[in-house]
Amino acid sequence: MVASATITREVLSAGLLLRAGIEPLDKKLAERGKPFASWSLVDLARECCRLDGFAPPRGTDEILRRALTTVSLPGLFSTLANHSLMKGFQESPSTSLVWCDETEEPDFKTARQTRLGGANDLEPVNDAGEVEHAKPTEWSETYQLATYGRMLSLTRVDLINDSLRALTKTPRSMGFAARRLIDNLVYTHLLQNGNLNDSVALFHSSHSNLLTSAALASDKLGEAKAAMRKQTDLDGKTTLNIEPQFLIVPPELEQTALELIKSSSIVIAKSGTTDAETIRGSANVHQGSLVVIVEPRLSNSNYTSCSATSWYLACAPAQGDTVVVAYLKGQRQPTLVQVPLAANQMGVGFRIHFDVAVKALDFRGLVKNTA
């Protein structure tokens, strides 16, 4: 039997985390919480009444009703639900965050990302030692954070049945959903191909970043790389020489992409049916030059303008602007908040929300290729 003096809210929380299969970060606290990992939710509710200065009533319903009005029991539930939410969010893979930039905004007002260009070259200084002032050109894009959310609840039935599902599996699945949301927004934005501030679509011949009849192959990949390298700054003269770093393809092109990037040589078949295959050159010039990103949304029929044959190149965020994912300042992950349920509902409720926005900032670091 554990002495009441040694029981604290933190110790009970550690025990509940251990019961859910989550190891507390504080190892000493985890050790102290082990005796409570076998406690039922009703046992925890009874002890939370004591911790908050109430004599535990008799009867399961009465104990739960009283404990849910305390600070301790809802706090235990919030801690477990939040750990589960973060576990799902951190474990869920994301393809867009590999190549997109990330930033934070202080509020929900329209945000503006501005880039100065066209004044990068140094000019000769005359004999009088006069140095001309730079006259940069400005390019800017705007966006606004939006809030996405869901409600979940731990019901009286969950509590009596001693079920942790509403505090573990459900929040964890919402963590997965929050991470998926980022990819959903990014690839929806990419496929919609909306206009930038110059009133021209992100991928457009005017932007020199849309190549047609360009099925993924060695020569077409070379052309796409060249198109990105030849992009000019805002002055239309300064060559940027942007180096592509990512090859983004739908699953249908995964094998082709990996063959192009990982093979040491490229085998070219001659046109004649009886001609032998030959190897062009001594090496595959694309080997190791790009990171292959396979994204199923690109060919998913639920997404407008999806394609199983189109593919993309993107530069690294450090080399140029492409697409930015913005969050509310200090909140790059979803937030869980305990909320009261309606009077006709028995249990405890939680609200999960996530503030995020996605916007293409520039076309120069992106190339789209359509077959």
Instruction: Give the pLDDT of residue 125.
Output: 86
DSSP sequence for 326-360: EEETTBSS-EEEEEPPPTT--EEEEEEEEEEEEEE
Instruction: Collapse the DSSP code of 89 into the 3-class scheme (helix H, G, I; strand E, B; otherwise coil) and give the result.
Output: helix
71: left (phi over 0), alpha (psi -120 to 50) or beta: alpha
The two beta strands, 366-369 and 311-315, are: antiparallel
Instruction: Give the pLDDT of residue 267.
Output: 66
The segments of the chain whose pLDDT lies below 50 read 1, 3
Asked whether the beta carbons of 346 and 156 are under 8 A apart, the reply is yes
Q: In what order do the strands lie in the sheet with 210-211?
A: 210-211, 366-369, 311-315, 244-249, 291-294
Alpha-carbon span 19 to 11, nearest angstrom: 12
Alpha-carbon span 288 to 299, nearest angstrom: 25
Please give the biggest Cα pair distance in the chain.
Answer: 96
Rg of the chain over Cα atoms, rounded to whole angstroms, equals: 28
DSSP sequence for 155-221: EHHHHHTT--GGGTHHHHHHHHHHHHHHHHHHHHHHHHT-B-TTSSBSS-GGGT-EESS--SSHHHH
Alpha-carbon span 107 to 239, nearest angstrom: 36
Instruction: Give the pLDDT of residue 1.
Output: 44
Give residues with Cβ within 8 angstroms of 175, minimum separation 6.
84, 85, 86, 87, 88, 89, 90, 91, 92, 334
Asked whether the beta carbons of 244 and 224 are under 8 A apart, the reply is yes
Instruction: Give the pLDDT of residue 2.
Output: 52
Q: pLDDT tens across 87-118, in order?
A: 999 999 999 999 999 999 999 999 999 887 76
Tally helices (H) and strands (E) across the chain. 10, 14
The CATH number of 93-113+138-267+279-371, from 3.40.1580, 3.90.1690, 3.30.70, 1.10.287, is 3.90.1690
Instruction: Collapse the DSSP code of 22 into the 3-class scheme (helix H, G, I; strand E, B; otherwise coil) and give the result.
Output: coil
C-alpha dihedral sign at 185, 191, 196, 199: negative
The two beta strands, 278-279 and 267-268, are: antiparallel
Alpha-carbon span 184 to 188, nearest angstrom: 6
For the CA atoms of 246, 143, 191, 298, the dihedral, rounded to the nearest 10 degrees, stands at 50
Structure tokens at 155: 């019901």
Please give the C-alpha separations between residue 219 and each of 26, 216, 268, 292, 293, in angstroms, as whole numbers. Answer: 56, 8, 11, 17, 20
Would you say how long the chain is, in residues? 371
Give residues with Cβ within 8 angstroms of 229, minimum separation 6.
239, 240, 241, 242, 243
Please give the C-alpha separations between residue 33 and each of 38, 86, 211, in angstroms, as whole numbers. Answer: 10, 21, 61
What pairs with residue 360 in β-bridges? 323
